[in-house]
Amino acid sequence: MDKVISFFKDVKLELSRVNWPTKQQTAKYTVVVIAVSLAIAGFLGGLDAIFQYVLNKII
């Protein structure tokens, strides 16, 4: 049981050392992740449409 208590004390100590992002940074990074995800989805969707068109012309 002492090991479990020691583990949680260590976890609390390590979490106090973490450099947490601010609310503004979190919002900014969230917007960046959504924008990049949409860009990649659009790119892959475009490739899919092109390949589908080419395959339909071949077949």
Rounded Cα–Cα distance for residues 44 and 42 (Å): 6
| Predicted structure pTM score | 0.67
With a cut of 90, say whether residue 43 has pLDDT above it: yes
Domain boundaries, the chain: 21-59
With a cut of 90, say whether residue 59 has pLDDT above it: no
CB 21 within 8 A of CB 29: yes
Number of Cβ within a 10 Å radius of residue 20:
7
